[in-house]
Amino acid sequence: MAAKIKWLGGPGEPMENEWNGIVFERDKWVDVSDARMIATAKKNRFYEVEGEDTNAKSRKAEARKSDAEAKAEEHANAKAELSARAVRK
């Protein structure tokens, strides 16, 4: 089994990534024949497998991002409330 895999990277990450001895340049397709790597890449939001539905991964990644942003906002609000209470004392 062979497939083309592309490393998408993330903000602040280098322009290339090595995985299992294979170097992936950001946004460039690489031929991979390792079935485990292909299966793992299909589930990993930082990789794209040619011909796969990347929208499903994108939706999951966006949901995780939204959850993280909501938690960060909740944390900031709680911190601001604590600061306000400390000032009132």
Which three-class secondary structure state does DSSP give residue 57?
helix
Structure confidence by residue, pLDDT tens digits, 51-84: 876 555 566 666 666 777 778 888 888 888 888 8
Helix (H) or strand (E) holding 58: helix 54-88
- How many C-beta neighbours within 10 Å does residue 8 have? 17
Q: Which pLDDT score is estimated for 53? A: 63
In this prediction the pTM is 0.58
Q: Is the pLDDT of residue 8 over 80?
A: yes
Q: How far apart are the C-alpha atoms of 57 and 37, rounded to whole Å?
A: 16
Residue 21: pLDDT band with limits 50, 70, 90: very high
Structure confidence by residue, pLDDT tens digits, 33-55: 999 999 999 999 899 999 876 55
Arithmetic mean of pLDDT, 19-29: 96
Q: How far apart are the C-alpha atoms of 61 and 5, rounded to whole Å?
A: 18
CA 51 to chain centre: 19
Arithmetic mean of pLDDT, 18-22: 96
